[in-house]
A and B are shown apart, each in its own frame.
Chain A
Amino acid sequence: MTTGALISGDIEDMRVSNVSISGVTFAADLSGALFWEEQRLLVVSDLHLEKGSSFAARGVLLPPYDTLATLGRLAAVISRHDPRIVIALGDSFHDRTAHERLSAEDRDAMAALRIGRDWIWISGNHDPMLPSDLGGTVADEVAIGAITFRHEPTGAHGEIAGHLHPKARVSARGRSMERRCFASDGMRAVMPAFGAYAGGLSIRDAAFAKIFPKNGFVAHLLGDRRVHAIAASRCY
């Protein structure tokens, strides 16, 4: 026997919900991006562009449309918030030569996204040697006010990082669902991966315990129509 989804009109569409990090209020976007209204700054993490072709080179012929899909979602969130600055928080490319495999169309699409705004590429473990001809600025980390943006989380106050691809599973009465999520305890945050093929790591993994020492953090799960804040202890 089967019970279906509780389809309900009660859940309104809310593309963003607020997350406070070290006193700064960010809008957590349903797409997995963070937007800092005051600074008109948009952050996306772990785009993993050309992951498909990276696998293809190893004999796993994944559909070669992941870059197209990721850039399409990125374009949508950029047009929604019209940021002044965009930070790509590392692992923007799946491997060191990924940018060479970009199609001309994808290259053009990226260039179009940069028009009229500053673009900061932060290097990650997948893309430590970003080429200089990408357009925009390449950096290891960026600090703005109390907030530091870097790829790999250290647990420092005011840090916004990526790298871990947090996801969380919630279950109730035998049903369960798993989604990408932001993880934050108000002092620091780990962002979900934005890339179309980027997998996830459960927030109950030991890696998160190192960053959120008291274990009392909240997972902001990316639902279908809104972001849901759920205690990490309630997820697994």
Chain B
Amino acid sequence: MLSRGEIPLTRLAASRRSTLSHKGRGNGGISLVGRAAPSTNPPPRLTCDAVPPRILKSPAEPAALLPDRFKAWFAARGWSPRAHQLALLEKAREDRSALLIAPTGAGKTLAGFLPTLVELSSAPAVSTKSLVSTGRTLQRTGGLHTLYISPLKALAVDIARNLERPVAEMGLPIKIETRTGDTPTSRRQRQRRYPPDILLTTPEQLALLLSSDDAPFLFSSLKRIVLDELHALVTSKRGDLLSLGLARLWRLAPQMRAIGLSATVAEPESLARFLVPQPGGKEAAADIVMAGGAAPPLVEMMDTRERLPWAGHSARHALPEIYELIKANKTTLVFVNTRSQAEMLFQNLWSMNDDNLAIALHHGSLDVAQRRKVEDAMSAGRLRGVVCTSSLDLGVDWGDVDLVVNIGAPKGASRLMQRIGRANHRLDEASRAVLVPANRFEVLECRVAIDAIAENAQDTPPLRIGALDVLAQHVLGCACGEPFLSDELYDEVRTAAPYADLTRPDFDDVVDFVASGGYALKTYERFARIKQDKEGRWRVANPKVRQSYRMNVGTIVEDDMLKVRLVRSRGGGQGKAGGSTGVIARGGRLLGEIEETFIEGLSPGDTFVFSGEVVRYEALVEDQVYVSRANDKDPKVPSYMGGKFPLSTYLAERVRRLLDDGRAWGALPEQVRDWLSLQKDVSRVPAVRELLVESFPRANKHYIVCYPFEGRLAHQTLGMLLTRRLERARARPLGFVANEYAIAVWALGDLSFMIRDGRIDLDALFDPDMLGDDLEAWLAESALMKRTFRNCAIISGLIARRHTGEEKSRRQLLFSTDLVYDVLRKHQADHVLLRAARADAATGLLDLRRLSDMLTRIQGRITHRELDRVSPLAVPVMLEIGRESVYGEAGDELLAEAADELVKEAMG
């Protein structure tokens, strides 16, 4: 794919960590102007230098686009600018915003900054920062020229360092600074008075700056904004917050143009809308520039010599083979889906590490200092393997990773592709990856993921609809700056793509909520946080409100985390001892942080894996968890929490197609083929659009197992609703278990018989109407819904996370959001915060939208098989009953069980 006409780039070996450096020989290419999807209006102009790959044509005249100083700089290094870099310069010249879609290692960041550097290099050398008298007041000029927004503060700092290099080498008069949560107050203040030309920061810091009185001065001169890792930012509420910040910037600086930098996504046209103001009633999009693709990756599935497990996520069977891979390569990144999987794998690899290979562990819960140590060792090339989670999905490029191993389910094609791209440090060399399925269903998922990657199919989620809780935070932020009129702010907010369809009633409800809580009984007018003046402008009611906003800005609501410290055991370790904690030696080495929800499920004495070893839970004192070293080989409580992301709809569909197409089974390992063939003989392999339901008895209980393939979250919701319905049908259900592919429900009633004689009508059981009253009844008590509500309450500013500096964890809150949820739901069910929580539930922890789509899809397509025993396809989900750590609703039964223990204890 290397085109001779372009001179590829770089031998910047010294700067391993640089994302600006172009390692390896890049792909030059052509520039085509084509039309994108006709639905967008005006259509984005699509510039593509990847397809078709072999036509040689220069995209633009570098001579015309690049000043001499830049040409000389490129030449001095033996480089030539890449096609997409020049394309972005061209877009800048045409005064267009642009979305650059490029793989890792394509010199994306330099491309993003090139227009800025060129513009600033020709700016008048004299500083324009000055005070100008406008008669009555003094007006300051000379604010920022370019803003850069990154999802990671570490990335912002890194990019700044890398930018300094060309700037220094070309002698450009450009001042570059970063602003993150770690920036000292003195520098922040200075930045507001004497802003740099280029400021690198995060979405949260941007929101803070926009809420300050200096915002007009800082931003009115803004020419460009560069949004890095845009594909990752827009999938969350941070993206909503950023979009609202953009809307504000477009008003302050109408001349500002945006450059988005993104990995490949499913719908570039919709992502491109994010970068330009949306005109009411129509859609507008930035132009799209596609960088030349990297060589297609070489992805294979590990063809294990061992017996493939039926269930589980540990991939323990493949350990020796994974170890061999690490040994055979220079540096291997081993990705897993959850922190606990990482812990387990790391521990297991070291137990067999006879060669003393430098293998490290990296996940988001580890202490920051420890993570930095791993990252530094990594960039210095001292590590042979790193076991990591999504904590390494994003961020700076490191060292010479020559192999990516992905353990377990890939979950999504685009996500897997981005992970594999972490080994892509030389554009013209294929990245290499090995997928290691941990069980039989995961083999199917890996198979279709490999096919999807070969077809370059993408399954990134569609652009979000802006959340109302984030809007509430933004409205308060706006009131902290210059007072606003509702009409004007409503128009401004709708220029942000995620909020383009925001209705006026929703907007007004949000403003009302910010002002006085938005309650039907308006008893809080006198406590209003923002108030209208005579002209109808909203402003903050008092400085405290402003202070509270500043301390709580942001949309990332972490699980409450507890610090984990290693202490010496109190001895005995007789689980239930618990109780007084005075005996624990305080202090102890800090191992990292762990979710409070996980610790809540433990009793003292339980063992689990953390920070690479099996530890015993000793006690919880305030926000510190005390653990001691346990000698157990296996932890008592496994902690596979399922990972953050469910199987993508796209891969699920492909898995169903693969199952339905017997001829395609040839591409599967023999063990899996045999498994499916046996299923075909004794029951049925589900067809693409149908839902297979099997029923069978086992050990005095009766089971139904169904196979929607819609991911764990949707299945969990479905399981809750199914058991409710079965209970009403007097089938006496006892429980259910759900994984990514299937759900099993068990009951005392003879389910097969009840289906046969019509007392259970499967069409009625799976009727989409379960999303009506049954769902409502469940939501009233669902812990997941309460957690969703809590997040909305925090983001919207109903509840402050931080008060005057110190962070209060939930245990210190003086009230519980669960109780607030109960009361609000009962007395004002349509309150804007409940609506926000419902919107989250549609795609978040409850995945209602997906469940609803599935129920609609399978209507009239349910196939029932009555069996006399468990089917081969049902074995994996059946094996998970009682085996995995559970995460669901607990009720009277849990209490009754604990009470029974008391009885047994009492009765001896």
Binding site for B on A (CB under 8 A): 1-11, 51, 53, 55-57, 59-66, 68-69, 103, 169-179, 196-200, 204, 209, 215, 218, 221, 223-226, 228-231, 233-236
Contacts and interface: CB of A to CB of B under 8 A. Distances in A.
Contacts of B639: 174
A197 B898 contact: no
B331 interface: no
Interface residues of B, number: 81
A196 B819 contact: yes
B799 interface: yes
10 contacts: A8-B893, A56-B517, A61-B519, A62-B815, A63-B831, A172-B894, A225-B892, A228-B896, A229-B899, A231-B905
Contact of B527 (A61, A103, A215, A223): A61
Contacts of B517: 56, 61-64
B461 to A, nearest CB: 22
A53 B798 contact: no
Nearest to A229: B899
A7 B820 contact: no
Interface stretch (B90-98, B112-120, B575-583, B850-858): B575-583
B881 A3 contact: yes
Interface string B527-538: 101000000000
Nearest to A105: B521
Contacts of A209: 580
B732 A64 contact: no
Given A171-B602, A204-B579, A223-B892, A1 B820 contact: no
Contacts of B820: 62-63, 197
Contacts of A233: 576, 578-579
A69 B827 contact: yes
Contact of B823 (A69, A199, A221, A228): A69
Contact of A59 (B545, B738, B781, B813): B545
Interface in B764-783: 781
Interface stretch (B24-32, B280-288, B715-723): B715-723
Given A60-B798, A171-B601, A175-B888, 9 more contacts: A3-B737, A4-B889, A7-B734, A51-B815, A61-B517, A63-B519, A65-B826, A174-B601, A229-B902
Contact of A63 (B733, B813, B816, B828): B828
A57 B727 CA distance: 46
A1 B892 contact: no
A198 B822 CA distance: 12
Given A176-B601, A221-B895, A62 B798 contact: yes
A80 B604 CA distance: 40
Contacts of B888: 2-5, 175
Interface in B750-805: 781, 798-800
Interface string B729-757: 00011111111100000000000000000
Contact of A64 (B519, B548, B822, B889): B519
Given A60-B800, A61-B524, A231-B902, A4 B601 contact: no
Contacts of B576: 233-234
A174 B887 contact: yes
Contacts of B523: 53, 56, 64, 103
Contacts of A198: 815, 819
Contacts of B637: 173-174
A199 B816 contact: yes
Nearest to A232: B579
Contacts of B899: 228-230
B20 to A, nearest CB: 43
Contacts of A196: 819, 822-823
Interface in B222-280: none
Contact of A65 (B603, B736, B824): B824
A67 B734 CA distance: 37
B601 A2 contact: no
A5 B720 contact: yes
Contacts of B886: 2-3, 173-175
B712 interface: yes
B814 interface: yes
A177 B818 CA distance: 13
A179 B818 CA distance: 12
Contact of B732 (A9, A65, A66, A69): A9
A204 B723 CA distance: 35
A104 to B, nearest CB: 12
A199 B814 contact: yes
A7 B905 contact: no
Interface in B609-657: 620, 637, 639-640, 642
Contact of B891 (A7, A53, A60, A178): A7
Given A5-B889, A199-B814, A209-B580, A56 B798 contact: no
Given A1-B737, A196-B819, A65 B895 contact: no
A114 to B, nearest CB: 23
Nearest to B619: A236
B745 to A, nearest CB: 9
A2 B827 contact: no
B737 to A, nearest CB: 5
Given A2-B738, A3-B735, A63-B831, A171 B884 contact: no
Contacts of A178: 600
A59 B891 contact: no
B823 A197 contact: yes
Nearest to A228: B895
- Listed from nearest, the 9 A-B pairs whose CB atoms lie closest are A61-B517, A65-B827, A174-B885, A3-B886, A228-B895, A174-B601, A177-B890, A6-B893, A223-B892
B506 interface: no
Contact of A177 (B545, B727, B880, B891): B891
B724 interface: yes
Contacts of A215: 579
Contacts of B813: 199
Nearest to A200: B816
Contacts of B516: 61
B897 interface: yes
